[in-house]
Amino acid sequence: MGHWTTLDTPCGRIAAWRADPDGPPRGAVVVVQEIFGVNAHIRSVAEGYALEGYAVLAPAYFDVVEPGVELAYDAAGVERGRALRTAVGLERANDITRAAADALATSHHLVGTVGYCWGGTVALLAAMRLGLPSVSYYGARNLPFLDETPRAPVMFHFGEQDASIPPDMVQAHRDALPGMEVFTYPAGHGFNCDLRAGYEPSSARLARERTLDFFTRNLA
């Protein structure tokens, strides 16, 4: 279903994974990667949303630093991914999200985002600064941006056993953004990813159901 394409951004031309539904799309979604690149998992996530009727782009954000990055879920992958995340920076990431949303909006008027890990914070910024309805999965770098005023709805998913996002950080989201939906699950970090040791299928399934409901409500 999906295929590689290119995306022109303010940071230069990058690759992106494109997935489209069989019929007319009900909306469009930008899928924002973890620190491991647009790997098999992120491509699978993109295709999953296409199967639900959405036109999807998953930009290769790291291409602005190093093209073609796909990292393993191990210590070396984490170390390299963190370095690339820092090198890209959130400002450039936001510019890339905007470019992907604009590319989808040429044929689909309503665009949202969903992001995982680092991408969870990129997705939050898309709601705050770009006005895109967004779903943020376990964004550990969200706190500095919670005092901004969202221009679109945001939904948050967190694992209750995530050492990188303790309960007080989750509560900070509820306190700062009382109008937004914040959900927690009996799981750790990365619980949506079936390639990670922390994968928790029941939590992943429920979070996805809630995400799809969010998109139905905000992209319909």
Q: Active-site positions?
A: 117, 162, 189
What are the φ/ψ torsions at residue 138 (nearest 5 degrees)? Answer: 35, 60
Largest CA-CA distance found in the chain, in angstroms, rounded = 44
The count of other CB atoms within 10 Å of the CB of residue 5 is: 11
Enter the tokens of residue 33.
């990667």
Alpha carbon distance 117, 4 (integer Å): 22
Q: How far from 154 is each of 96, 181, 215, CA to CA, in Å?
A: 19, 7, 10
CA distance 104 to 206: 27
3-state secondary structure of 114: strand
φ/ψ of 187, rounded to 5, equals -155, 170
Picking from 175, 195, 185, 125, the residue whose alpha carbon sits closest to that of residue 154 is: 125
Q: Tokens 């036109």 sit at which residue?
A: 55
